[in-house]
Chain A
Amino acid sequence: DTAVSQTPKYLVTQMGNDKSIKCEQNLGHDTMYWYKQDSKKFLKIMFSYNNKELIINETVPNRFSPKSPDKAHLNLHINSLELGDSAVYFCASSPGTGNTEAFFGQGTRLTVV
């Protein structure tokens, strides 16, 4: 069973479109994250949720709206996509309560054309 699964794995879309990426974890973790990896492979946190509550928003444009319907799911919706949004987006989860050992999904490669 996949611990952290995100869909889709690849997403190609035109500028201005709206798209969503879904993430689910079956580890029973309290904390979930979205990270962005750029073309130079630098990983930067975007959002952190703990038990469905937003904990961290790292100055991400408000075109990005995460939603956590329950603590096992954290979806990412992106409005009005721009060329600069092209990157690999990773969902991750960790136990929380002081344990930051994060488990990552396989990533979603977003290409905006």
Chain B
Amino acid sequence: GQQLNQSPQSMFIQEGEDVSMNCTSSSIFNTWLWYKQDPGEGPVLLIALYKAGELTSNGRLTAQFGITRKDSFLNISASIPSDVGIYFCADAPAGGYNKLIFGAGTRLAVHP
């Protein structure tokens, strides 16, 4: 089946540092979504990307939809303690509007 490869698996950084994580796939996708999950909560949508090459920001977050439509990255600038959580990339397969496939997640820990 279709798979998303998300890296790194985990990161432990100092407050104030910038963070970068990415997802790749062997298949072409029409959508890239980035979610964050806090402990004990459901995933929350951070950024949605719909066009190849699209670069979108949401506060300190920036995400890009790769030109090949097979990859995406998420950057967090000037990290703060509340950035702690699990970040997931997710995709809807071409034509598969009723289904999201998730990456394995990047666990972020921020040291004050």
Does B52 interact with chain A (Cβ within 8 Å)?
no
Q: How far is the CA of A41 from the CA of B105 in the complex (A)?
A: 8
The 7 closest A-B CB pairs, nearest first, are A104-B42, A100-B92, A43-B102, A48-B98, A55-B98, A104-B43, A98-B97
Whether A101 contacts B48 by the Cβ 8 Å rule is yes
Q: Is the CB of B98 within 8 A of A56?
A: yes
Q: Which residues of A contact B (CB under 8 A)?
A: 4, 31, 33, 40-45, 48, 50, 55-56, 90, 92, 96-107
8 Å CB contact of B98 from A41, A42, A44, A50 = A50
- Asked whether B67 is an interface residue with its Cβ less than 8 Å from the other chain, the reply is no
Report A-chain residues with C-beta under 8 Å of the C-beta of B92. 100
Distance A43 CA – B88 CA, assembled complex (angstroms): 9
Residue of B nearest to A98 (CB): B97
- 7 additional contacts (CB under 8 A) given A48-B98, A100-B97, A100-B99: A48-B99, A50-B98, A90-B42, A90-B43, A100-B100, A101-B48, A102-B90
- CB atoms of B100 and A107 under 8 A apart: no
Q: Across the two chains, which residue of chain A brings its CB closest to B41?
A: A106
In whole angstroms, how far apart are the Cα atoms of A97 and B17 in the complex? Answer: 39
Contacts of B41 in A (CB 8 A): 106-107
Residue B31, interface by CB 8 Å = yes
Q: Determine if B98 and A104 form an interchain contact, defined as CB atoms under 8 angstroms apart.
A: no
B13 within 8 A of A: no
* List of B residues within 8 angstroms of A50 by Cβ: 98
The verdict on B33 contacting chain A, using a C-beta distance below 8 Å, is: yes
